[in-house]
Chain A
Amino acid sequence: MFADLTSIKALIILDNNGERVLSKYYDDHFPTLKDKQDFEANLFKKTYQTDFEIIACQGLTVCYKSSVDILFYVVGSSEENELILVNTLTTFFDTVSIILRKNVEKKAVFDKMDYIILAADEFIEGGVLMENESENITSRVYPKPEQDIPLSEQTMTQVLQNAREGFKWTLLR
C-alpha cells in the first residue's frame, strides 16, 4: 500500500443521460479522453437508477450519490480506504448543496457552474484532499449569499429554505 496524501483519483459529476457535467481526474489512470469517457459510460450504466452508494468499477472503488437528475462520483483506487472516499463524497455533495441552497439539480448546477468549479478546486488539489469541512470551502469560494428573489415570487418551501439558509449563514459569520 501507498503512504502518501493522494487518495482521490477523480471527481465526476454526470447528468441523467450519462453526459459529463464536470469531471476532474487527478492522475494518469485513464490516459486518454476516450478512456475517461468509456469509464464514465460504464460507471453510469452501473449506477443509474440504483442507490448502492459504493461499487467496484474497472478495478477502482467508486462512491456515488444521486440527486434529482444529477450524479456525483468520487473515484479512488481499490486499495483506498472506502470510508475516506465516501466522506469525501459527502463533503463535496454538502458543499454543492450549500452553494445551490439545497436545490441540487442539473439546471442549478449549470447556473452556478463558476462557483462549483471553484469549490471543486478548493476541495481537492492533485488528488489530495485540501479541506474536510464543506462550510470552510463555501465560505472561501462563495463570499456572501446572492441577492434574494423578491418574496412574492417564492414558493412556501423556498421561503422556509431561505430562512433556514439565512440562519446557517449568520451562524457561520
Chain B
Amino acid sequence: MMLGLRKDKKDEDAGGVNPFLALEKTAVLQETRIFNETPLNTRKCIHVLAKIIYMINQGEQMGPTEAREAFFATTRLFQSKDVTLRRMVHLVIKELPTAPDDAIIATSSLTKDMTGKEDGYRATAIRSLCKITDLTMLTAIERYLKQALVDRNPAVSSAALVSTLHLGKDNGPAEMVKRWTNEINEALNSDNVMVQYHALGLMYSVKKHDRLAVSKLLAKYTKGGVRSPYATCLLIRIACKVIEENEQENHPSLIDFLESCLRHKSEIVIYEAARALCNLPNLSGKDIAPAISVLQLFLSSPKPTLRFAAVKTLNKVASNHPSSVTMCNLDLEHLISDTNRSIATLAITTLLKTGNESSIDRLMKQIQSFMSEIPDEFKIVVVRAIQGLCLKFPNKHDVMMNLLSTMLRDEGGYQYKEAIVNTIIAVIEANPSSQDTGLYHLCEFIEDCEHGVLATKILHLLGREGPKTPTPAKFIRYIYNRVILENSTVRAAAVTSLAKFGAVCPNLRPSVLVLLRRCLHDTHDEVRDRATFYLNVLESGDTALVNQYILDTLQSSIVGLQSLLVHYIDNPAAEPFNLNQVPITTAPAEVTPSSKTDELITESRKPAVPTKTRQEESAERLAQIPEFARLGPLFKSSPKPIELSESETEYYVRCDVHTFPQHLVLQFEVTNTLDDQQLENVSVEVAGENYTVLGYLPCPKLVYNTPGTCYTLLQLPKDPSLVPATFACNLKFLVKDCDPNSGEADAVGYEDEYVLEDLDIGLNILIQRVFKTNFAASWDEQGDENQAEETYSLYTVKSLNGAVDQLVNFFGMQPCERSDRVPDDKTAHTLLLAGQYKDGVECLIKTRIVFDGVVNMKICARSADPALNELLVSSI
C-alpha cells in the first residue's frame, strides 16, 4: 500500500537542485545559441531542448517570432547524429507552434530521417512530419508514408498508422487514406499486437460509413485472430456501434461474440464486454444476466479500479434493470465500507435504486453510519438518491424523513444542507401526508441554523404551507423565535411569515397582531417597515387588501419594472405610473432535481447565477429591434417555441409568439439543414382570418446549420373573440447553391418557397399566468355577481389528467393550490386557474371536471369585466 506523499521532502531539495524551476523564457531562448557551437555538446543541447518543451508544457506562451527563432535554431541540430538528440529535435519541432511556411524547412530533413537507416528515430520523424505537414506537402511524402504503414519495425508502422489516423480527421487527407486499404489490411495481419490494434482503429475510421465493409471486418475478426486486449475492446465497441445503429435488426452473431468475450482471459476485455452488454438497448434482464454475474465477481476484487468500474456500471444498469442488479445487493452492501469513498457512494446509490420497500429500513440505518465518514460532495449525491427513493415509496416517507432530519442536525456545509432542505421540500410537495412531519423537521432545523439563506427559504415555505395545516398554531412559536434571535434578514422573513398566518387563519389573527406589534420596535428598518405595513393591512380587516398585499406578492417582472420605471422617469407623463403595464414575471421553469444520482459520474457544476426568464430575454431582444420599439411593453411570450417543421426536414422552423398591446410579433427561428445551399432574404409569409400583416423583417442570410431569425408583425384584432386563429405559413427565400466544403455560394440564385405546418393561436396569448396563494379568498372577493359559467363535454380526452393539461394549456393561466395534480383513481376534480388579461384585469377560473368515460366540465369565470368572463367561458 502506498503511503501518503511526504511533505518533508520539499525542504531537502529546496537548495536549487531543480534546474527547471523558475525558467525564464528569454534566458532559455538565449541558451539555444549553443546549437551553433562546433563541436556540439550533445548532452547540453538535449537539456536545452528539454527546457523548451518543459516551458511549453507549463503553459508559457511563445510569440510567433520567439517560436520561429527557436524553431530555426533547433533545425540546425539535424547535423548531429546522436539518436537521443535527434528524437528530441523531432519532439520540439512537433510541439513548437510553428507557421506552416516555416515548417517546410524541416520537411526534407524529417523525410530523410523517416526513410533513413537509423531505426531509433524513424518513428518520431513520421509523427513530427505528419503533425506539421499540410495538404500540399502531404502529396510529396505520400509514397513514404504508405510504405511506412507496413514497415517491419513495429514502432515505425504504429507511428505511421496513428499519424494517418490523426491526418484522416481532415477532409483532404481522408480521401488519400482511403486508397491505402491494402497496406492497412496488411498491417492488420501484423504479428505485433500494437500494430494490429492501430491498424484496426485506422481501418474502422476509414470504413465506418460503409456498412457492408464494417460488417465484413467484424465477421472476420470476431471469429479470432485479434491478439491484443485493446484491439478486442475496440472490436467490442465497433460491434456495439453496429447494433445501436441498426436497432430494429437482430444481431445474434454479434451478441454471441460479446458473450464469448465475457470468458476472455484479459480482465480489460471481460469488463468491456460486460459493460457493452449492459448498455445495449433492447436487451432483457435475462440477456444481461451473465454480464451482471461477471461484474458481481469484480465487486469483490482486491483492485480498487475493478471494483470502481463494476459498481459504476451496475449503478447505470440499476436505472433500467433494477431487478437484475438485486442479486449483487449483498456484495454492494459490503462495498459501503470501502475505503475508496467514490466506490462506497456508488454502491449506496445503486442500492437505493434497487431497494424495495421492505429493505428501506435497513438501508437507512446503514446510510446513517456511512454518512459521517464521507465528504460533502458524496453526501449530496446520496441525499439526491434518497429523494428519488422517497418519491418512489411514498409510504416509507417517515423513515426517510427521520434520516434526513438527523442529517440536518449533523455537521455539513451549506450545499449539503441546502440539498437536504430541497429534498424535504420536494417530498412535502409530492406527498401531502408527509407535510406535517416535514414542516416540523424544518422548524427544528431553523432553531439552530447558521445559513440565513436557508432559514429565509424555510420561513417562506412555512408562511405558504403552514396556515393550511390542521394545527397552524404550533408553527407560530418557531417563527416568532426567529424574530427574537436572528439577524435582520431572517427577522424580516419571519415577520412576513407571521403575517401570512394572520391573513389565512382568522382565529390566530389577534395573537399574530400582538406579536407583530412587538416587532414595531425592532432595530432594523426593514423589519419595522414590514411589521407596520402588515399590522395596518391586517387591522383594516379588508379581505381584498389582505389578499392582495399579504398573500399575493408582487408578480411583476423585476427587469420589466425597472426598464419601465427608467422610461417613466426619463419621459415624465401627467398620469401616474401604472403598475398594470408591467409585464408579469413568468414562472421560472421548474427544475426538478429528478433522481440524478449519476451526478457523481457526470458531475459538472454550473454556476447558480440567477438567470433571466425566457420572456425577459425576448423582451430585451425585441426592444433592440427599431421596428418593434414603438409597440409598447411586451405582454407575453409563448412559453416554448412551436415547431412548424420537423428537425429532419430541409428547413427546420420554430416559432415564438410575442403579444404586445395592439400587435402580435411572430418570431421564426429557421435552420438550414442542407449543406449545399445558402439562403438569403428569408421570411415567413403568414395568412390568417381577421389579422392584418403589417410587415416582415427578413433574415438577410442563412448558411448551413446556423439558425437565423426573421419576424412577422401582425395587427391584433380589436375584438378579442376573433383572436384565436390558424395561420397558413410559407417560408420564402432566395436559394443559392454552394460548395459544401468551402461554403462559397454561387453569385446568382432563384426564388423558392417551402410550405410549413399551420400555426395555431389561441386565447392563451392574451392571458398571463398569475400566482394566487389563497385562491378561495380571491374567488370570494370577486363575488357571485361577476361570474359567467358554461357547461361542456369533451369527447376527445380520455382522462382527468388529460383534461386538466389541456385546460391549463388552453387558457394559459396559472393552476393554483396544486390543483393541476389529479390524485389517482378519482373521478372528479376541481381545477383552479388564475391569470391576468392583456389590459391588466385579473381573471379567475374554477372548473369542475367529472369523468365517466367522457369528460364533462363546468367552467366558471370571475373577473371585474363581464365581457371577459363571457369570452373565457364561451371560448372553448
| A residues neighboring B (CB under 8 Å) | 1-5, 16-17, 20, 22-24, 33, 36-37, 48-56, 58-59, 63, 65-71, 78, 81-87, 105-107, 110, 113-115, 117-118, 121-122, 125-126, 128-132, 136, 140-141, 143
Q: Which of B18, B54, B202 contacts A117 (CB 8 A)?
A: B54
Contact status B5-A49, CB under 8 Å: yes
Contact B159 A2 (CB under 8 A): no
A/B interface sample: 26 pairs, CB < 8 A = A3-B241, A5-B198, A16-B10, A37-B59, A50-B4, A51-B2, A51-B3, A52-B342, A53-B304, A53-B308, A56-B601, A58-B604, A81-B271, A82-B309, A84-B233, A87-B268, A107-B13, A107-B18, A110-B19, A114-B49, A117-B54, A121-B91, A128-B165, A131-B194, A140-B123, A143-B120
Say which residue of B155, B238, B275 sits within 8 Å of A140 (CB atoms).
B155
Min distance, Cβ B74 to any Cβ of chain A, angstroms: 14
Determine the chain B residues whose CB is within 8 A of the CB of A136 once the complex forms: 155
Nearest A residue to B346 by beta-carbon distance?
Answer: A56
Q: In the assembled complex, how far is the CB of residue B144 from the closest CB belonging to chain A, in whole angstroms?
A: 18
A3-B240, A84-B268, A130-B159 given; 17 more Cβ-contact pairs under 8 Å? A3-B241, A4-B165, A5-B198, A16-B5, A52-B340, A53-B305, A66-B5, A78-B601, A83-B271, A110-B18, A113-B20, A114-B88, A117-B53, A125-B162, A129-B194, A136-B155, A141-B84
In angstroms, Cα B195 to Cα A128, docked, is 12
Shortest distance between the CB of B38 and any CB in chain A (Å): 22
* Mask: chain B, 116-129; 1 = CB below 8 Å from A; 0 = not: 00001001100100
Q: Is the interface of B mostly helix, strand, loop or mixed?
A: helix
Known: A1-B237, A4-B204, A82-B312. A67 touches B2 (CB 8 A): yes
- Write out the residue numbers on chain B whose beta carbons fall within 8 Å of the beta carbon of A106: 9, 13, 18
List the B side residues contacting A115 at CB < 8 Å: 84
Once bound together, how far apart are the Cα atoms of A48 and B6, in whole Å? 10
Q: Identify the closest chain A residue to B1 (Cβ).
A: A51
Closest 4 CB pairs of A and B: A49-B4, A5-B201, A114-B50, A3-B237
State which residues 222-255 of B face A: CB under 8 Å.
228, 230, 233-234, 237-238, 240-241
Contact A66 B4 (CB under 8 A): yes
Question: Measured between C-beta atoms, what is the minimum distance from A47 to chain B in Å?
Answer: 9
Picked from A5, A20, A87, A143, the residue with its CB within 8 Å of the CB of B234 is A5
Cα(A48)–Cα(B13), bound, Å: 20
A105 with B237, Cβ < 8 A, contacts A36-B59, A121-B91 known? no
Assess whether A68 is in contact with B46, with CB atoms less than 8 Å apart.
Answer: no
Q: Across the interface, which residues of A come within 8 angstroms of B677, CB to CB?
A: none
Q: Report yes or no: B194 in contact with A1, Cβ–Cβ below 8 A.
A: no
Nearest-neighbour CB distance to chain A for B636, whole angstroms, equals: 38
How near does chain A come to B310, taking the closest CB pair, in angstroms?
Answer: 9
- Distance (Å) between the CB of A110 and the closest chain B CB? 5
State whether the Cβ of B334 lies closer than 8 Å to any Cβ in chain A. no
Minimum C-beta distance from A41 to chain B (A):
13
Binary interface profile of B, 331-350, with partner A (CB < 8 Å = 1, else 0)?
A: 00000000111110000000
Pair B342/A3 contact, Cβ less than 8 Å: no
| Distance of B235 from chain A, by nearest CB (Å) | 9
Closest to A116 in B: B50
Q: Is the CB of B47 within 8 A of A69?
A: no
Report the separation of the CA atoms of residues A71 and B94 in the bound assembly, to the nearest whole angstrom.
26
- CB of B807 closer than 8 Å to a CB of A: no
Known interface pairs A4-B205, A52-B339, A69-B9; A59-B601 also in contact (CB < 8 Å): yes
Complex interface: chain B residues within 8 A of A128 (CB): 162, 165, 198, 201
Determine whether the beta carbon of A81 is less than 8 Å from that of B309: yes
Q: In whole angstroms, how far apart are the Cα atoms of A63 and B306 in the complex?
A: 12
Residue of A nearest to B166 (CB): A126
A16 touches B312 (CB 8 A): no
Contact residue among A66, A84, A86 (Cβ-Cβ distance under 8 Å from B2): A66
Enumerate chain A residues within 8 angstroms of B197, measured Cβ to Cβ.
5
B residues in contact with A78, CB < 8 Å: 601-602
Contact (A54, B340) CB under 8 Å given A59-B603, A66-B5, A128-B198: yes
B121 to chain A, nearest CB (A): 9
B5: which of A68, A114, A117, A143 is its contact (CB, 8 Å)? A68
B54 neighbours in A (Cβ, 8 Å): 22, 113, 117
Which residue of B has the minimal Cβ distance to A32?
A: B59
Mask, B596-621, CB within 8 Å of A = 1, is 00001111100000000000000000
Chain B residues whose CB sits within 8 angstroms of the CB of A114 once the complex forms: 46-47, 49-50, 84, 88
Name the distance in Å between A3's Cβ and chain B's nearest Cβ: 4
Q: Residue of B at shortest CB range from A89?
A: B305
Write the nearest CB–CB distance from A43 to chain B, whole angstroms.
13
Q: Does B7 interact with chain A (Cβ within 8 Å)?
A: yes
Q: How far is the CB of B448 from chain A (nearest CB, A)?
A: 30
- Closest beta carbon of chain A to B50's beta carbon, Å: 4
What distance in Å separates the Cβ of A13 from its nearest Cβ neighbour in chain B? 10
B193 part of interface (Cβ distance < 8 Å):
yes
The docked-state distance in angstroms from the alpha carbon of A49 to that of B267 is: 28
Tell whether, in the assembled complex, residue A58 and residue B10 are in contact, meaning their CB atoms are under 8 Å apart. no
B87 contacts A by Cβ under 8 Å = yes
Kindly list chain B residues whose C-beta atoms are within 8 Å of the C-beta of A71: 5
Q: Within the assembled complex, what's the spacing in Å between the Cα atoms of A107 and B47? A: 16
Write out, one digit per residue, whether chain B residues 783-810 have a CB within 8 A of any chain A CB (1) or not (0). 0000000000000000000000000000
Q: Report B-chain residues with C-beta under 8 Å of the C-beta of A22.
A: 54, 57
Chain A residues with Cβ below 8 Å from B208 are: 3
Looking at the assembled complex, report how far the CB atom of B9 sits from the nearest CB atom of chain A, in whole angstroms.
Answer: 4
Q: Is the CB–CB distance between B162 and A5 below 8 Å?
A: yes
